[in-house]
């Protein structure tokens, strides 16, 4: 790995500016009478919210940012003191703790109270309880949008109609009530067209990891790349500009044969190509990433970066069918997929990105991801023939990040891949772990 | 008589080999058994399609878990690992179908594990209509149930007519009525129906035909009326949080022996999800869907549309059952129960209701701490009431 001066790419500058502007606008929203809608990343209806000139707030994003800024431990402690169990989702407790501590958001500015809680119930049971809790905290209206789970690996046409009906009969009227504006389908179509442009560029970025060396890190680096897409900027000109700039940078790196920018510089020499399943540990994000880069391991694809949409498998928002496309988007988010589909997705990534292995980061307080991951481990190993590693941590609860333990497991895992390579080279093949 | 019924129920509860289910299948050549996980599935549909509905509630504290632990990390609740242990040891091989209701993400993902492990078994995740608007919710659930009827009929080769479905609904209406009677008598005279016995009866009803349960439950009620007991100076409590992973029987006994009369609970909650009879008029699938959507039961696995609903719930339950306090008994790592608890407990305490909380696992083997905690709570309730008087 070459140690170079860390330069900010244009896309990084753009993203930082976009986020700062957004949070400044949020802080001023009450004075400017701009309505604020809290919603979740999976199944977010950003284009629709924006079409009412409302501003979205994503509580998971705030929680993970609090984790990265080392604030989450205190927020969680505050929530547990008020009766929340140590066993449940750390995002929820971090969010509740943040609200109780004055609701200062990740940019250091005060977050406004929601005018509406848009409970997009997509792929995570906890979402339902989270907004029941926030409804008590903020005493504001809530609207429920139920996205059926893909228990059989696909949804039926009537499921799609059910979602469209909810959008038409519940969600849109609720947005009309809190914003005082009428539903404008042309405006929604315009937003959706902008989303599709940005999605094309994002997919080009994600799929650049098929190159060798990969010009991106498909997990640690890509959580930054998907930030605007998963939060407030889908369906905006800013989002389109960001993804165009990002794509140009990544393609330039790929053409130059460069790897991604990682904590210590540019990871041009890549010894291991990996797929990762599960969210990262936000409280120790840099330390966690360095455990990979120290071993010259690059992540070429990940599932967590698909919780806000599985664009790389072809989905694009379609302005010709505005409500139908929102339903399709929501139902396809990663955590709304059943376990066999998740297994197939990981095996496909391993195959298409020519990965040497896969790592599952199992999150203590996230059952939507974690329940069943040991089954995923063995099924993916069986189907792909590559070995998997299993490590455990938490989203934003710093008490559950054991640095030495995780580092030991990863080091052992890389040694195992190395020894399989030697075995394959000596014997012309190798058995699956 | 009473002892005979309870012995019958206890034997069924303790039998992890599901001998009664095998016996029923032997007696009904060509028929099928269909399992379901907690909390609620419409058993009428299984029944109408020619299945014996079989509740899968794990192995409790009666089985050493070896294979199940290989499927779940330590921070996942205990129920799915014991369900896997039952399956991997061949004890659930008689099930031709297994239904996984939308209870939580663990049960949901277990449906995917089942699909991977047992591709020859019909597996269905049953989404619940969480939207608060009744018409939208009922239309969705009706679609889900029609899909279920079609699929189960393909497995059993028995497509039920509307008349078949109505007969099944009528049978389960009768079952629900008996359960309501049991709960009503316990609420009025908890000294006559110990919760340990009530619980054993409910669990027996999960593995035998509805007709057999109804007969035994009626015999039990008759025996109770024939030999009434004497009240003790116990405290009346509501137990909340045990709707999915069931507590070990020893825990229920410990609460009672510590001086508490349990006058309401959410054990085996699927038996009381529909609090009234399902209509026998109209389209039977639609009436089942309407019955679920309009059911008054409020519990953690359903979205609470009323912003003040969670805060009021414990007060309402305590008042309806004449209880004096609330015991929050939730399984470790249970998202629905534990995420609800701050809202429920906050509401209870705001209403001046005494509360205690503890966590358990279905295989918890030490009950001393629960007994001491419940005993202290029961004593404090008496002092509280004496002070209030």
CA of B92 vs chain A CAs: smallest distance (Å):
19
Indicate whether A275 belongs to any domain: yes
The answer to whether the beta carbons of residues B332 and B78 sit under 8 Å apart is yes
Question: Is A338 within 8 Å of B115 when comparing Cβ atoms?
Answer: yes
Q: Which residues lie below 8 Å from residue B18, measured CB to CB, with a gap of 6+?
A: B54, B91, B92, B94, B207
Closest Cα of chain A to B66: distance in Å?
14
| Residue A14, in any domain of the structure | no
pLDDT given at position A211: 98
Distance from CA of B141 to the nearest CA of A (A): 10
- Supply the DSSP symbol for A170: I
Report the candidate in B161, B178, B177, B163 with the shortest Cα–Cα distance to residue B217.
B178
Determine the residue of chain B that is closest to A86 in CA distance. B333
Q: How confident is the model at residue A425 (pLDDT cuts 50, 70, 90)?
A: confident
**Tally of helices (H runs) and strands (E runs) in chain A:** 18, 10
Q: What whole-number distance in Å separates Cα of residue A24 and Cα of residue A18?
A: 10
- pLDDT single digits (tens) B164-223: 999 999 999 999 999 999 999 999 999 999 999 999 999 999 999 999 999 999 999 999
| Residue owning tokens 């797929």 | A275
Class of domain B18-161: alpha beta
Q: Does A281 share its domain with A176? A: no
Q: Which residue of A has its CA nearest to B132?
A: A144
Q: Locate A134 and state its tokens.
A: 């926030």
**Nearest-Cα residue of chain A relative to residue B342:** A83
**Structure confidence at residue A3 (pLDDT):** 44
Distance CA B54, CA B95 (A): 8
A166 and A82 within one domain: yes
Residue written as token pair 């009240």: B231
Contacts of B276 (CB under 8 A, 6+ apart): B176, B291, B295
pLDDT tens figures, A185-231: 999 999 999 999 999 999 999 999 999 999 999 999 999 999 999 98
Residue A433 has pLDDT above 80, yes or no: no
Closest Cα in chain B, distance from residue A89 (Å): 8
Domain boundary among A134, A165, A184: A184
Cβ B335–A339 below 8 Å, yes or no? no
Phi, psi at A43, each rounded to 5°: 75, 25
Instruction: Give the per-residue pLDDT at A428.
Output: 57
Burial of A204 (C-beta count, 10 Å sphere; 0-12/13-18/19+): middle
* Residue A265 β-bridge partners: A262
pLDDT at B384: 77
A17 found inside a domain? no
CA distances from B171 to A240, B44, B167 (A): 60, 8, 6
Does the pLDDT at position A173 exceed 90?
Answer: yes
Token pair, residue A422, equals 């030697």
Structure tokens at B272: 């009381």
Q: Clarify whether residues A156 and A199 are in a common domain.
A: no
8 Å CB contact between B155 and B194: no
Phi, psi dihedrals of residue B261, rounded to the nearest 5°? -95, 120
Mean pLDDT of the region A61-70 = 95
> Taking Cα atoms as reference points, which of A430, A428, A336, A422 lies closest to residue A381?
A430
| DSSP state string for B263-324 | EE--TTGGGGSS-SPPP-SS-HHHHHHHHHHH-----TTS---STTHHHHHHHHHHHHHT-S
Q: Which value, to the nearest 10 degrees, does the dihedral of the CA atoms of residues A302, A303, A306, A311 take? A: 70
CB < 8 Å to A136, chain B = 307, 310-311, 343, 346
Same domain assignment for residues A221 and A327? yes
User: Is residue A369 one of the residues assigned to a domain?
Assistant: yes
Per-residue DSSP letter, B71: T
A129/A269 same-domain check:
no
Number of inter-chain CB pairs under 8 A, A vs B = 158
Q: What are the structure tokens assigned to B384, written together?
A: 């509280």
Name the residue of chain B whose CA is nearest to A130's CA.
Answer: B339
Query: What does the pLDDT read at residue B114?
Result: 98
Q: Cα–Cα distance between B326 and B238 in angstroms, integer?
A: 5
Encode pLDDT of A241-279 as tens digits: 999 999 999 999 999 999 999 998 999 999 999 999 999
Classify the C-alpha dihedral A207-A212-A218-A222 as positive or negative. Answer: negative
Query: Could you tell me if A154 and A257 lie in one domain?
Result: no
Cα separation of B69 and A194, whole Å?
A: 48
Q: What is the dihedral of CA B52, B57, B60, B66, to 10 degrees?
A: 90
Domain limits at A99? 28-184
The string of DSSP codes covering B149-211 is HHHHHHHHT-PPPHHHHHHHHHHHHHHHHHHHHHHHHHHH-TTTS-HHHHHHHHHHTTTS-HH
Convert the pLDDT of each residue in A380-415 to its tens digit: 999 999 999 999 999 999 999 999 999 999 999 999
Largest CA distance in chain B: 65
Number of domains in chain A: 2
| Boundary of a domain, candidates A184, A202, A227 | A184
Q: What is the pLDDT of residues A358-389, one digit of tens each?
A: 999 999 999 999 999 999 999 999 999 999 99
Question: Mind spelling out the 3-state secondary structure of B106-153?
Answer: HHHHHHHHHHHHCCCCEEEEECCCCCCCHHHHHHHHHHHHHHHHHHHH
Q: CA torsion A259→A261→A266→A272, rounded to 10°?
A: -50
The verdict on a CB contact (< 8 Å) between B109 and A371 is yes
Half-sphere exposure of A276 (CA within 13 A, CB side): 29
Nearest residue to B350 via CA among B382, B301, B320, B312: B312
Token pair for A356: 């040497």
Pick A87's closest partner by Cβ from B100, B333, B343.
B333
Question: Sheet of A142-146: strands edge to edge?
Answer: A55-57, A36-38, A116-121, A142-146
Q: Mutation test of the interface with chain B: which of A158, A362, A367, A409, choosing the one with the most B Cβ atoms within 10 A?
A: A367
Judged by CB atoms closer than 8 Å, whether chains meet at B342 and A84 is answered as yes
Flag if B335 and A156 touch (Cβ within 8 Å).
Answer: no
Given a contact cutoff of 8 angstroms between Cβ atoms, the answer to whether B40 and B299 are in contact is: no
d(Cα A53, Cα A392) in Å, to the nearest integer? 41
Closest to A267 (Cα-Cα) out of A291, A289, A301, A298? A298
Is the ipTM beyond the 0.90 threshold?
yes
pLDDT at A432 exceeding the cut of 70: no
Whether B133 and A169 lie within 8 Å, measured CB to CB? yes
Q: Do A146 and B335 touch (CB under 8 A)?
A: no
Compute the average pLDDT of residues A414-420: 95
| Six-digit token string for B298 | 């409020």
Question: How far apart are alpha carbons A283 and A400 in whole angstroms?
Answer: 10
Phi-psi region of B97 (alpha: psi -120 to 50; beta: other; left: phi over 0): beta
> Is residue A10 domain-resident?
no
Neighbour tally for B145: CB within 10 Å: 22
A367 to B335: CB separation less than 8 angstroms, yes or no: yes
- Cβ–Cβ under 8 Å, residues B310 and B344: yes
Looking at the fold, whether A273 and A228 belong to one and the same domain comes out as yes
In a 13 Å sphere around the CA of A78, the CA atoms on its Cβ side amount to 18
pLDDT at A5: 46
**Could you give the CA distance from residue A372 to residue A63 in angstroms, rounded to a whole number?**
24
N-term to C-term CA, chain A: 29
* CA angle centred on A159, ends A157 and A165, rounded to 5°: 105
Cβ neighbours for A69, distance < 8 A, ≥ 6 positions apart? A106
> Are B342 and A367 a contacting pair at CB < 8 A?
no
Same domain, A315 and A393: yes
Residue A429: which pLDDT band, with cuts at 50, 70 and 90? very low
| B243 neighbors B337 (Cβ within 8 angstroms) | yes
Interchain contact, B106 vs A151, CB within 8 Å:
no
Specify whether A159 is located in the same domain as A201. no
A184, A209, A228 — which closes off a domain? A184
Separation of alpha carbons A207 and A201, rounded Å: 10
State yes or no: cis peptide before A213, omega within 30 of 0: yes
> Is the domain of A160 the same as that of A198?
no
pLDDT digits (tens, 9 = 90+) for A158-170: 999 999 999 999 9
Do A287 and A147 lie in one domain? The reply is no
Q: Name the band, by pLDDT with cuts 50, 70 and 90, for residue A1.
A: very low
| pLDDT one-digit tens code per residue, A71-94 | 999 999 999 999 999 999 999 999
Q: Would you call A387 helix, strand, or coil by DSSP? A: coil
CA A84/CA B275 separation, integer angstroms: 30
State the SS3 of A196-211: HHHHHHHHHHHHHHHC
**Would you call A149 and B304 a contact, using CB atoms and an 8 Å cutoff?**
no
Please list, in sequence order, all residues whose beta carbon lies within 8 angstroms of the beta carbon of residue A77, skipping any fewer than 6 positions away: A97
User: How far off is chain B from A233, nearest CA to CA, in Å?
Assistant: 28
Average pLDDT, chain A: 95
| Same-domain status, A337 and A409 | yes
For B233, list phi and psi in degrees, rounded to 5: -85, 60
Q: What is the CATH number of the domain that holds A332?
A: 3.40.50.11900
CATH classification of the domain holding A42: 3.40.50.11890
Residues in chain B where the model's pLDDT stays below 70: 387-389
């Amino acid at each position: 790995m070459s140690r170079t001066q860390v330069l900010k790419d244009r896309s990084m500058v753009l993203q930082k500016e976009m986020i700062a502007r957004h949070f400044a606008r949020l802080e001023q929203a009450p004075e400017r009478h701009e309505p604020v809608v809290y919603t979740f990343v999976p199944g977010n209806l950003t284009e629709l919210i924006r079409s009412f000139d409302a501003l979205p707030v994503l509580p998971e994003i705030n929680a993970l940012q609090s984790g990265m800024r080392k604030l989450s431990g205190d927020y969680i402690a505050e929530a547990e003191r008020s009766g929340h169990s140590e066993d449940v989702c750390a995002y929820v407790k971090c969010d509740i703790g943040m609200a109780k501590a004055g609701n200062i958001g990740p940019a250091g500015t005060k977050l406004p109270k929601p005018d509406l809680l848009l409970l997009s119930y997509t792929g995570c049971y906890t979402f339902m309880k989270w907004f029941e809790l926030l409804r008590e905290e903020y005493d504001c209206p809530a609207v429920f949008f139920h996205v059926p789970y893909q228990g059989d690996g696909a949804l039926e046409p009537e499921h799609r109609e059910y979602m469209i009906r909810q959008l038409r009969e519940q969600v849109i009227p609720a947005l009309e009530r809190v914003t005082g504006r009428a539903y404008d389908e042309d405006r929604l179509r315009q937003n959706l067209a902008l989303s599709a442009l940005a999605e094309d560029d994002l997919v080009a970025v994600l799929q650049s990891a098929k190159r060798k060396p990969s010009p991106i890190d498909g997990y640690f680096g890509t959580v930054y790349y998907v930030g605007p897409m998963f939060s407030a900027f889908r369906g905006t000109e800013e989002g389109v500009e960001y993804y165009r700039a990002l794509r140009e940078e990544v393609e330039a790196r790929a053409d130059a044969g460069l790897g991604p920018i990682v904590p210590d510089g540019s990871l041009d020499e890549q010894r291991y190509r990996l797929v990762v399943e599960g969210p990262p540990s936000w409280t120790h994000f840099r330390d966690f990433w360095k455990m990979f880069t120290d071993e010259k391991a690059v992540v070429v694809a990940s599932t967590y970066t698909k919780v806000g949409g599985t664009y790389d498998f072809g989905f694009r928002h379609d302005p010709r069918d505005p409500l139908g496309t929102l339903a399709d988007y929501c139902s396809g988010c990663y955590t709304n997929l059943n376990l066999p589909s998740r297994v197939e997705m990981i095996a496909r990534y391993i195959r298409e990105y020519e990965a040497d292995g896969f790592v599952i980061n199992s999150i203590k307080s996230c059952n939507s991801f974690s329940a069943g991951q040991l089954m995923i481990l063995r099924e993916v190993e069986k189907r792909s023939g590559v070995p998997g590693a299993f490590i455990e941590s938490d989203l934003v609860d710093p008490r559950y990040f054991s640095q030495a333990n995780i580092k030991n497991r990863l080091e052992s895992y890389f040694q195992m891949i190395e020894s399989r390579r030697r075995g394959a080279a000596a014997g012309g093949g190798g058995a699956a772990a | 008589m009473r002892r005979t019924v309870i012995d019958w129920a206890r034997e069924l509860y303790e039998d992890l080999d599901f001998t009664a289910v095998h016996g029923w299948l032997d007696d009904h050549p060509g028929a099928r058994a269909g399992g379901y996980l907690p909390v609620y599935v419409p058993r009428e549909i299984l029944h109408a399609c020619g299945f014996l509905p079989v509740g899968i509630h794990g192995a409790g504290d009666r089985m050493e878990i070896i294979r199940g632990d290989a499927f779940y990390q330590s921070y996942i609740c205990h129920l799915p690992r014991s369900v896997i242990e039952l399956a991997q040891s061949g004890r659930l091989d008689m099930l031709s179908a297994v239904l996984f209701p939308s209870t939580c993400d663990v049960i949901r993902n277990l449906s995917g594990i089942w699909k991977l492990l047992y591709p020859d078994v019909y597996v269905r995740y049953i989404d619940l209509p969480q939207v608060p608007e009744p018409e939208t919710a009922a239309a969705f659930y009706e679609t889900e149930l029609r899909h279920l009827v079609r699929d189960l009929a393909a497995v059993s080769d028995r497509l039920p007519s509307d008349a078949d479905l109505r007969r099944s609904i009528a049978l389960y209406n009768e079952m629900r009525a008996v359960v309501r009677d049991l709960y009503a008598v316990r609420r009025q005279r908890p000294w006559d129906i110990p919760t340990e016995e009530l619980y054993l009866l409910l669990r027996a009803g999960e593995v035998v035909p509805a007709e057999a349960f109804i007969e035994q439950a009626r015999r039990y009620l008759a025996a109770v009326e024939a030999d009434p007991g004497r009240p003790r100076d116990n405290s009346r409590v509501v137990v909340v949080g045990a709707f999915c992973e069931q507590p070990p029987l020893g825990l229920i006994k410990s609460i009672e022996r510590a001086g508490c009369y349990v006058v309401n609970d959410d054990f085996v909650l699927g038996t009381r999800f529909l609090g009234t009879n399902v209509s026998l008029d109209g389209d039977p699938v639609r009436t089942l869907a309407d019955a679920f959507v309009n059911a008054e039961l409020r519990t953690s696995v359903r979205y609470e549309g009323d912003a003040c609903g969670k805060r009021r719930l414990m007060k309402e339950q305590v008042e309806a059952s004449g209880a004096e306090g609330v015991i929050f008994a939730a399984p470790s790592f249970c998202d629905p129960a534990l995420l609800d608890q701050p809202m429920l407990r906050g509401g209870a305490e705001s209403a001046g209701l005494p509360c205690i909380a503890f966590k358990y696992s279905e295989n918890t083997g030490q009950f001393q701490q629960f007994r001491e905690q419940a005993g202290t709570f029961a004593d404090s309730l008496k002092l509280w009431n004496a002070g209030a008087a």
